Structure 1
Amino acid sequence: MKFKDFATLIVLGMAGGTIFLLPYMKYYFYNQMIDNTGVSGESLGLFVTMFGIASALVLLPGGMIADRLSSRKCIITSLIATSLLTILYSFLYTSYLASLIIWFLLAFTTLFLAWPAIFKSVRVIGGGNACTAYSIYYAAVGLTGALVGYITIKVYSFLSVIALANSYFGAIWVSAIANVGVAIALYYLLRDIKTDTENDSRLPSIRESLSVLKMPSIWIISITLFCTYTLYMGMSFFTPYLTKTFHMSDETSGTLSLVRSYVFMSLTPITGIIADRFFKSTLKWFLLVCPIIIISLLLVMAIGENSHFHVTIMVLTLLIGFFVCTVYASMFSILSECKIPLAVAGTAIGFASIFAYTPDMIMQPLFGYFVDTNQYYLIFLILIIMAILSAISCIALLYLNKKQL
């Protein structure tokens, strides 16, 4: 991979690391959001549910459009629009209805055009090393998200001491400023990535675009992505688990969440290279990682609320976080491994993403309810089931790939 390609993946990762800071703010700012908005964990989960509902509406048409539009313009426009919505939220966060509407609109500014444009670009750059390319992208996402998220937490803590009424307002503005900053960087650093399809004057017909729906592999891929994203989303609930059950401070637990959700993402290029060079398959990497996640979650369930295992539970959550990040960072490279045509890659990414992010509509409020009722073991049980289903789906995809040879 050329240095230019590596640099482009980093810039794309910066965009991915900032554009989703507000929609998924609860991942690292869970308790602070509840304290300042006055909502319950279940109601907070409905924010992301609203985001997920809108996502289901925009992902497929957005993917079809992104197959032909300028990726650079799509991403920059989306970053600016997300920043404007973030600023709006900073003035309206006390209104639950306004917040729900903003989370609905965030799907249009983050997923409609930016999401398929980013991921199609990553696949084109990666070529035969798709897992490595996606891992480098997610490493940049992780480092950017960790940095901005950490600054958000510190700004909130600082303002809480000197001006409590403005602490949450100031923390929100960190995300808004970050989005604008990355948009400016992209304007000067990112060039449009052209594919053979984009150089063709003829747009793919609707029938050609929707032909991906007839592929058995795309449906199984969607199941794999659904399970993998549920695992990644489920990590955010370690934050209230550690604070309520093991009495960690909000700042400590939030920092650990940043490590699980973002910092570990910076290490995924290593596992991406391992998957490409040694396993020569993302699917086989999944089959190695899923059992590790299952065993670790079973240990968490076995420990329960035993405060004597304070350090052990912290290490286990970090171990789970690391391996979940490795599969989450590489999950879209499965489309390349399963030979989904590049000409309709945007459509395929959009369609698979509908299923991939359905957990935002279902699991977020459900897990929030489990947190409110102190039933964390049910969250861990569901995550174990997801890891098992993910492994089974990967076996099925390997069978289909072998059959097509």
Structure 2
Amino acid sequence: MTAQAKAKWFRFLVLVLGGGTIYKLGSLKDAFYVPMQEFMGLSHTEIGTLMSVNAIVATALFVVGGMLADRFDTRKLIPLGLLGTGGLGLYLASFPGFDRLLIVFGLLAICADCIFWPSLLKAIRNLGDDNEQGRMFGLLEGGRGVVDTLIAFSALGVFVLMGSGAAGLKSAILFYAAIDILAGILTWFLLTEGASRPVTTPRTGLDGLLQAVRLPGVWLVSFNVFMVYIVYCGLTYFIPYLKDMYELPVALVGAYGIINQYFLKVLGGPAGGFLADKRLKSSTRYLKWAFVALLPLMAIIMLIPKGPSFIYAGMAATLSFALIVFTMRGVFWAPMSEVGIAPHISGSAFGIGCLIGYAPGMFAYVIYGAILDSYPGQQGYDYVFSLMSLLAVIGFMVSSALYRRVHSRATLPADGALPQS
């Protein structure tokens, strides 16, 4: 391996470290959904509302974040987001009231989704050439999964060690905050000026945004991410589903949540990148057929008998569904290269993509949670899972349109603008 290649992969690992730590506090429900209900006094709807506020602020600022990533050094923006997140975690551990939690989750979105995430995506996009995008983003998701899993299981260990009560939850939150602060310090010193591949064009701001807005491919990729993400939001409800319908013990609920939300990234991200780049030769083609594969799995989940005797069947079916979703998450940004986005406006393009693609976070958790609160028990879960199936069908239609666009578009000019008709 050449020195240049070693430097590239070292920067990649540093980026993965940041990407695998920054969302733990904002996604506290992944491993601690039930403890949040019990010790912070939150209902399904309130947890969903916190997630929605986080997503609303994130969505409002994604485009701003993309402009920042195009204009400023990502080496500075990435650690800044991590340090800010860690500071907020220190306050979150005090268990503030629901009104203050709304503010905290909004500020977490500013740090993670405005300052950090578009910068991370641009840095990853610029590390690899056009033939590597599926693998680069797949390995990003897989690498984040490794970091996610290690940190989340460590936090769960802290929770259990401290008695699995309110003190345990506070200690776990403080652990997450400390990890974010440490990651921010490390990325500041380890992420060199070469974190992004240099380009000959000047840094852009509003001009780059306006240029990206005019590209139809950006919008198609964005809506495709939207459909993957709205189905992904539903994975959270496999966690209380197993507890309510199969009587999964609370300690195992946390472990399942970590596997469901984090460990599957380890398998799904690289697997999605490999299948997209090596087997199907197209990320858009892979996404199209992955949506189809979700439908029979959801049917199996809904048809498996309920009760402790069938807990392993329920876990296997839900984890299989989640694995496919994570293979899709691993490559859903790769089509930005397939539709011909120029590197110097990629920050703005990703900002637009995040604005649309992650928009389901504003309302999906509230909708899913409200359904479960309004229709307790099996009926509520049947409604949620049926809605997820319908959304997968719509996702197949969107991915099909994107696939046709990728394979019918004319060659784009070097500046990323579309030919004039």
Report what 1:174 is aligned to.
175
Alpha-carbon distance in structure 2 between the residues aligned to 1:241 and 1:354: 30
Give the TM-score, by structure 1 length.
Answer: 0.94
2:400 to 374, 392, 395: 395
Alpha-carbon distance in structure 2 between the residues aligned to 1:329 and 1:217: 19
Q: Give 1:223-238 correspondences, 5 Å limit.
A: 223-238=223-238
Q: Identical aligned pairs, as a percentage?
A: 23
CA offsets per residue over residues 269-322 of structure 1, 9 Å max, x none? 233123112211111111232222111011112236355432211110111111
CA offsets per residue over residues 207-233 of structure 1, 9 Å max, x none? 442222222222222221111112222
1:75 to 74, 78, 82: 78
The 3-state SS of whatever aligns with 1:111 is helix
Q: Give 1:72-221 correspondences, 5 Å limit.
A: 72-91=75-94, 93-127=95-129, 128-160=131-163, 164-192=165-193, 193-197=195-199, 200=201, 202-204=202-204, 206-221=206-221
Give how far 1:26 is off. Answer: 0.7
Amino acid aligned to 2:209: S
Amino acid aligned to 1:54: V
Aligned residues of 2:203 and 2:344 also touching (Cα < 8 A): no
Amino acid aligned to 1:390: G
Aligned residues of 1:10 and 1:136 also touching (Cα < 8 A): no
Alpha-carbon distance in structure 2 between the residues aligned to 1:304 and 1:345: 48
Give the TM-score, by structure 2 length.
Answer: 0.90
2:36 to 10, 26, 33: 33
Of residues 115-124 and 183-192 in structure 1, the stretch that sits farther from structure 2 once superposed is 183-192
- CA RMSD, aligned part only? 1.8
CA offsets per residue over residues 53-76 of structure 1, 9 Å max, x none? 111221101101211211111011
Aligned residues of 2:75 and 2:191 also touching (Cα < 8 A): yes
Change (3 A) 1:174 1:337: same
The 3-state SS of whatever aligns with 2:114 is coil
The 3-state SS of whatever aligns with 1:133 is helix
Alpha-carbon distance in structure 2 between the residues aligned to 1:401 and 1:12: 29
Report what 2:358 is aligned to.
357
Aligned residues of 2:70 and 2:205 also touching (Cα < 8 A): no
2:390 to 378, 385, 391: 385
Report what 2:418 is aligned to.
none
Aligned residues of 2:59 and 2:359 also touching (Cα < 8 A): yes
Alpha-carbon distance in structure 1 between the residues aligned to 2:230 and 2:7: 34
Aligned residues: 400
Moved over 6 A (4+): none
Aligned residues of 1:60 and 1:351 also touching (Cα < 8 A): yes
Give how far 1:30 is off. Answer: 0.5
The 3-state SS of whatever aligns with 1:21 is coil
Gaps of 5+ in 1: none
Gaps of 5+ in 2: 411-421
Alpha-carbon distance in structure 1 between the residues aligned to 2:154 and 2:205: 46
Aligned residues of 1:246 and 1:307 also touching (Cα < 8 A): yes
1:404 to 398, 409, 412: 409
